[in-house]
């Protein structure tokens, strides 16, 4: 990947990263931010700021359904004027009302990773109530399978298994440029 200074990338729309927990949305988001100069927003961080609590605290105190309401609220609070890179939480695809909000914010990019990759990345991860040690591997895999057809409604699907971040970023930038 050439350094940012020699890349001429300009996007009219935002780039919205979706995919399962552990797919690399935050990591790829940071790399895209470096290469495009577009501001980076992590929707989970917006929720934490707006609610003044961690994701784990929200789940523990109010449960998942409250978290989903806060997630939609956070999405609604973002304007679509400024194009941005946005990393979303893995469950953002679950609520139908989130889809028009997401599409308004930019192109949806599904960072696809298969179960063995996700499983190895999620082992021992903290701060993810739906992937805690109390959740069985079977349940987690089932959740992935339930969400898979939703993720596949993205504008772009990019594979991340066994690939370096830079390679993933290059593919995203090349494919988006083709359609600008
Ligand atoms: C969730 C994914 C998390 C976070 C919350 C719920 C999910 O974000 O939003 O713990 O339902 O998949 P990451 O995908 O960034 O881990």
Q: Please tell me the residue having the least CA distance from ligand 1 atom 11.
A: 91
Question: Is 169 part of any domain?
Answer: yes
Question: Is 4 part of any domain?
Answer: no
Beta strand segments in the chain, E: 15-18, 40-42, 85-87, 107-112, 156-159
What pLDDT, on a 0 to 100 scale, did the predictor assign at position 4?
42
Question: Is 5 part of any domain?
Answer: no
Residues having CB closer than 6 A to ligand 1 are: 21, 25, 44, 55, 89-91, 128-130
Question: Is 110 part of any domain?
Answer: yes
What pLDDT, on a 0 to 100 scale, did the predictor assign at position 9?
54
What pLDDT, on a 0 to 100 scale, did the predictor assign at position 144?
98
Residues ≥6 apart with Cβ < 8 Å to 165: 24, 27, 28, 31
What pLDDT, on a 0 to 100 scale, did the predictor assign at position 33?
96
Best mutation site among 16, 17, 18, 21 for ligand 1, i.e. most ligand atoms within 8 A of its Cβ? 21
Question: Is 91 part of any domain?
Answer: yes
Question: Is 6 part of any domain?
Answer: no
Output the CA 43–ligand 1 centroid distance in Å.
10
Of 174, 31, 34, 25, the closest CA to residue 112 belongs to 25
Output the CA 72–ligand 1 centroid distance in Å.
13
Question: Is 1 part of any domain?
Answer: no
Domain count, the chain: 1
Other beta carbons within 10 angstroms of residue 161's beta carbon come to: 12
What is the block-wise mean pLDDT of the chain (180 residues), using blocks of 10 residues?
Answer: 47 91 97 95 98 97 98 96 95 98 96 97 91 93 98 98 96 88
CATH of the domain at 91: 3.40.50.300
72: containing domain:
11-179
């Amino acid at each position: 990947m050439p350094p940012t200074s020699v890349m001429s990338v300009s996007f009219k729309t935002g780039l919205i990263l979706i995919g399962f927990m552990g797919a690399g949305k935050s990591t790829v988001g940071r790399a895209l931010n470096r290469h495009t100069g577009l501001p980076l927003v992590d929707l989970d961080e917006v929720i934490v700021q707006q609610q003044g609590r961690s994701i784990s605290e929200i789940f523990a105190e109010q449960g998942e359904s409250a978290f989903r309401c806060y997630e939609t609220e956070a999405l609604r609070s973002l304007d679509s004027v400024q194009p941005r890179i946005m990393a979303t939480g893995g469950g953002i695809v679950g609520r139908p009302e989130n889809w028009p909000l997401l599409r308004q914010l930019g192109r949806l990019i599904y960072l696809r990773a298969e179960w063995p990759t996700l499983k190895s990345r999620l082992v021992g991860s903290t701060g993810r109530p739906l992937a805690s040690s109390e959740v069985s591997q079977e349940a987690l895999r089932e959740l992935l399978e339930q969400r898979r057809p939703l993720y596949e409604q993205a504008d772009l699907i990019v594979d991340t298994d066994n690939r370096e971040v830079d390679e993933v970023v290059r593919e995203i930038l090349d494919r988006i440029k083709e359609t600008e």
